[in-house]
Chain A
């Protein structure tokens, strides 16, 4: 049994699985049910001045019959009175002292507002604070959420104000609706943040009803953009986590969020630098019980690998993640079709023929049996054929060894520069 406990900037929890600030963490009743089911922590639904919500709030994107591939919402922060939430946080913390409860906060960008809420919330005994600079809809129109989260100076200043008052660790939750997330992550660091979490939801419009011409969802015939999350956003979130993790100017822990649905996804985020993960959509799709497999699957994974503590995998893939200019231009792979496994759907053929490098041949052997074969000398190793192949093991991407030493673009340019430099000298002299 591996040790699944984590310590994220001083916040301890029995396992790395937290519920993200969202409807699943709306009330004490829910968070307590979640802890009973096994969740290690919960970031309470964002607290602030109570708001009004609209009815018809969510929409989901099905992809080829797979429900909730992506999820879209136009819900705002908590619509329950602050005192009620604070009382329930207090009660929940008392019942589950070893579980992590983090209060998510969002107020107007004013120092006294932040000071006031931090003080009131910390009195309940929370383990930490998360600043919601990410909500991309509604609140942003009022200058909060992602409206402040997109401006590095505002992130820094507000984080600073919170840190002036806070006694518990402060996590800054970042919006992905920005060109370069490291700029706001760095701003959070400068403001004194103890950790960053990412991502909040991505600006989205889930769909348009082609019969009524209404947006999806719509509120009485009118729609507004929402925030996108769920499995579809995982690669975007993973990239942002990786960019922050490998940036030396962001030396603080990361709480990974975005499309995490099972233990394997969680392992990916942790390998890419997250100290723990937060989950929203998967819990909304299936209920709190999914955490049982997350815990067991993670534990079995660590046991199989002989790793005694989950903290030991944090960031292990970060050194393997770099810039394009550092990739080896002389590394070469090629597609190889295993004729005995191939079912001849010809999908690889048409993909390569129409949209890649025309290097799969449709051949017929001496017995008149047709088969597919890659002309390896023309294959660029793009992976497309193996991506569209529906059968495991039918197409392998294999390394083609060569005698050339590794050479990256950056090294090549540097070498060329040297050469050119010498050439110039020759001309000059």
Chain B
């Protein structure tokens, strides 16, 4: 990545320009249009991929985007952030004979067309009189709301932030997912009559009980919380950041030059770490290192993200854990003490447990430390709802998304973890859809006869 030092805004523009019409047509015509295609099954939302690609080839872009958005209310953002080589593109039969079809890019081509041409695809269903509260307006909550609106429910989203979209809006770096894309997806949902009550934090502004008592059903889609403490000395020093907050600032505040030439150390090796590291590079940091206590094998970041960070010049220090953050007299970060690790016996999650190598401590110079060691859970709110959970991972029935309170359903990152599912936008979208249908199945018997 060539960093522009005078105008850093340019560093945060979307990296890929999108396919040209020529490229899109050529690629669309290369698709075999398989019957019962494996890519469809590899997409968590089951988009009819050959059909949307055929429609690009025939010039029916509106139909193409509709096919995508019908199956996936987050279809535009997913085209940019899905780990496609592990999903649809990984399943493409052309992997056996040539190169897989660029499904993600074609999906982006069709949805970009829809955004540019301001087309709306869906209509709300006939009102059935039932009301559903959705807590959290991220990919899961928005998808649930859209499906409910199409089924005739009055869906109210309660969103703590000033804007919905969740991590799509505030968490994923703008050079991979511009905020405007998330805005468009939110707008599509609002146009169906869904009300989004922003700046309303459930548990604080309204209680869990109030929602449960005044709605016919509640869908909990609050995702996960801030980055947890590392539990080491020096976490409160100036220059220590929460990665999610750090990225959020790049999307919501004017970009600042304060990180020019700085040495940044990012702790963790998931999506968040990569996003924080590549953002630091774009903010002009002189050197960016990612510390991870296991090896590249165990990293939760996707292969494409790892590749992307390396291309950006991010250095990876594997089998390295932080043991102390060091500050100067003014309380500013000047370094970080680390310890070398080795992999021991597999833990209960199957991954080999990293163990410190005694006496291997060493110090890295650093001006800033970004914590990207996972996300905490909103345990307080989950307990206010009185739901069974496992360390903040809400327990649901895998078919009905029903929690231990039969009126409360949960989907998205709030149910991810403990070996369950994957924290991806596309799975949050699918779970949102499915929990809406589950709500419908549970409520329909009560209004079906009266309608």
Q: Is A263 an interface residue (CB 8 A)?
A: yes
Give complex CA distance A286, B50 in Å.
Answer: 11
Q: Which of A66, A263, A390, A392 contacts B60 (CB 8 A)?
A: A263
Q: Is B330 an interface residue (CB 8 A)?
A: no
Contact B55 A297 (CB under 8 A): yes
Q: Which of B29, B35, B62 contacts A300 (CB 8 A)?
A: B62
Q: Is B33 an interface residue (CB 8 A)?
A: yes
Q: Which of B20, B35, B60, B66 contacts A287 (CB 8 A)?
A: B35
Q: Is A232 an interface residue (CB 8 A)?
A: no
A297: B residues at CB distance < 8 A:
55, 58-60, 63
Given A287-B35, A392-B21, are A300 and B60 also a contact pair (CB < 8 Å)? yes
**Please, which residue of chain A has its CB at the minimum distance from the CB of B22?**
A392
**Among the interface residues B22, B59, B60, which one has the most CB atoms of the partner chain A within 10 A?**
B60
B55: A residues at CB distance < 8 A:
293, 296-297
B29: A residues at CB distance < 8 A:
66
Give complex CA distance A324, B27 in Å.
Answer: 38
Contact A293 B22 (CB under 8 A): no
Total residues of chain A contacting the partner, CB 8 A: 17
B22: A residues at CB distance < 8 A:
390-392
Cross-chain pair count, CB within 8 angstroms: 38
Smallest distance from the beta carbon of A285 to chain B beta carbons, Å? 9
Contact B63 A300 (CB under 8 A): yes
**Please, which residue of chain B has its CB at the minimum distance from the CB of A298?**
B60
Smallest distance from the beta carbon of B76 to chain A beta carbons, Å? 19
Contact B35 A293 (CB under 8 A): no
**Please, which residue of chain B has its CB at the minimum distance from the CB of A263?**
B58
Give complex CA distance A292, B51 in Å.
Answer: 9
Residues 13-32 of chain A, each 1 if its beta carbon lies under 8 Å from chain B, else 0: 00000000000000000000
In chain B, residues 54-79, which have Cβ atoms closer than 8 Å to a Cβ of chain A? 54-55, 57-60, 62-63, 66
**Among the interface residues A263, A293, A300, A391, which one has the most CB atoms of the partner chain B within 10 A?**
A293
Contact B33 A293 (CB under 8 A): no
Q: Is A412 an interface residue (CB 8 A)?
A: no
Q: Is A362 an interface residue (CB 8 A)?
A: no
In chain A, residues 264-313, which have Cβ atoms closer than 8 Å to a Cβ of chain B? 264, 286-287, 289-290, 292-294, 296-297, 300
B58: A residues at CB distance < 8 A:
262-264, 293-294, 297
Extra A-B contacts (13), CB below 8 Å, given A263-B60, A293-B51, A293-B63: A264-B59, A287-B35, A289-B35, A290-B54, A292-B51, A293-B54, A293-B55, A296-B55, A296-B60, A297-B63, A300-B63, A391-B22, A392-B20
Closest 5 pairs (CB-CB, A-B): A297-B60, A262-B58, A296-B63, A300-B62, A293-B55
**25 interchain pairs (CB within 8 A)?**
A262-B57, A262-B58, A262-B59, A264-B59, A287-B35, A289-B35, A289-B51, A290-B54, A292-B51, A293-B58, A293-B60, A293-B63, A294-B58, A296-B55, A296-B60, A297-B55, A297-B58, A297-B60, A297-B63, A300-B60, A300-B62, A390-B22, A391-B22, A392-B21, A392-B22
